[in-house]
Amino acid sequence: MPAAIGIQTAEKFTTFGDLLRYLRRRAGLTQLALSYHVGYSDAQISRLEQNLRLPDLRTIEERFVPALGINNEPQVITHLLDLAANVKCEGAPVMELCPNKGLSTFDESDADLFVGREALTAKLTDRVLSLSAGYEAGSERFLAIIGSSGCGKSSLVRAGLLPALRWNKNSSNWLIHVITPTAHPLESLAMSLTQDASSVDVTLTMMDDLKRDPRSLSIYINRILQTTGAPFLLLFIDQFEELFALCRSEEERSMFIDNLFTGAAWEDGRTIVVITLRADFYAACAGYPRLRQGLARNQEYIGAMSDEELHRVI
């Protein structure tokens, strides 16, 4: 039985078919295997996942929910049924399924449309999983994905790496938080990690702690993991260059970096940090020793797609 996914993950999917496909894969089921459980043909399952068939709400609730292993997640069930109710008409593909995203970033819900980077996705998945395998003194659980503007770094992680980790049995129960630094990186970090808190005061308190002590992120994440029972928390910081382009406070920038690397290098910690960084901001990292050393040890420099990858995309 897969670990609970939580409503925050489920709400990233905006169509019934996309969420159904995600839940099926999380449960380790092929379309054929799911068809056996629910009494549909595998062709009917395929059409449901493409939003080409109207879902029967009663069947979804009575047969699909148990088969997908989400009986104990009422919020996820509600979201699944709401999306099912919003499938308008049989035989009409929805606009969200257009495979051409233009200049937009591919996200987790676009994983099945993200083609051409399979080999690189597998390589990055192995690298991230290796960070959880053991701790070496003087190292950190950190990976930087670097490339030129527009080469697809964000899509690679959001639609490639993160879904691969969620579907992998060794990392399916990790917690994953995705942020961009914005002009106030400590606020962005605190808001993400306290999104389930019932009070704004919790977020404000964490922001103050992050500003004062670089150990604060580690302490807070370890507390989250003890509460949830998850083995690791992966913190993905997209567009890391915003730290230099938007943030005007050197003190806040330095404390953000110190908190990240204290957490990633904590011997008994369970924080994994992955960033994407535009190559033209590489030099800006040189003034921060821990960041510079982390980049020197743990980076994947990606380029444009090869001819073979482009043929797959087309």
Distances from the Cα of 246 to the Cα of 143, 185, 208, 212, 254, angstroms: 22, 9, 20, 21, 14
Are 251 and 112 in the same domain? yes
Same domain, 141 and 283: yes
Q: pLDDT at position 92, please?
A: 42
Q: Work out the number of other CB atoms within 10 angstroms of the CB of residue 216.
A: 24
Residue 3 has pLDDT above 70, yes or no: no
CATH code, 67: 1.10.260.40
HEC sequence for 278-305:
EHHHHHHHHHCHHHHHHHHHCEEECCCC
At 81 the three-state DSSP class reads helix
Q: Which two tokens stand for residue 58?
A: 């009663």
Residues 10-34 have pLDDT tens digits of: 888 989 999 999 999 988 888 888 8
pLDDT surpasses 50 at 109: yes
User: Does 314 fall in a domain?
Assistant: no
DSSP, collapsed to helix, strand or coil, labels residue 252 as helix
Higher pLDDT, 205 or 32: 205
* Coil, strand or helix at 50: coil
> What pLDDT, on a 0 to 100 scale, did the predictor assign at position 108?
78
* 248 and 132 co-located in one domain: yes
Residues 165 and 301 in one domain: yes
pLDDT at 98: 61
Q: What is the pLDDT of residues 207-247, one digit of tens each?
A: 999 999 999 999 999 999 998 888 999 999 999 999 999 99
Whether 184 and 86 map to the same domain: the answer is no
Give the Cα separation of 203 and 198 in Å (integer).
Answer: 10
Cα-based torsion angle of the residue sequence 237, 158, 160, 220 in order, rounded to the nearest 10 degrees: 50
124-162 pLDDT tens trace = 999 999 998 866 656 789 999 999 988 889 999 998 999
* Enclosing domain of residue 219: 108-308
Q: How high is the mean pLDDT of the chain? A: 86
Q: Among residues 97, 130, 155, which one ends one of the domains?
A: 97
pLDDT at 189 over 90: yes
> Is 135 within the bounds of a domain?
yes
Q: Which of 127, 130, 15, 24 is nearest to 70 (CA)?
A: 24
129 and 286 Cβ atoms separated by less than 8 Å: no
Are 119 and 141 part of one and the same domain?
Answer: yes
pLDDT at 136: 63
CATH number at residue 285: 3.40.50.300
Number of H helices, E strands in the chain: 17, 5
Structure confidence by residue, pLDDT tens digits, 52-103? 877 888 889 888 999 999 988 999 999 999 998 887 544 444 444 566 666 6
Chain segment 243-267, per-residue pLDDT in tens: 999 999 999 999 999 999 999 988 7
Residue 149 is assigned to a structural domain of this protein: yes
One domain, residues 250 and 141: yes
Domain assignment present for residue 102? The answer is: no
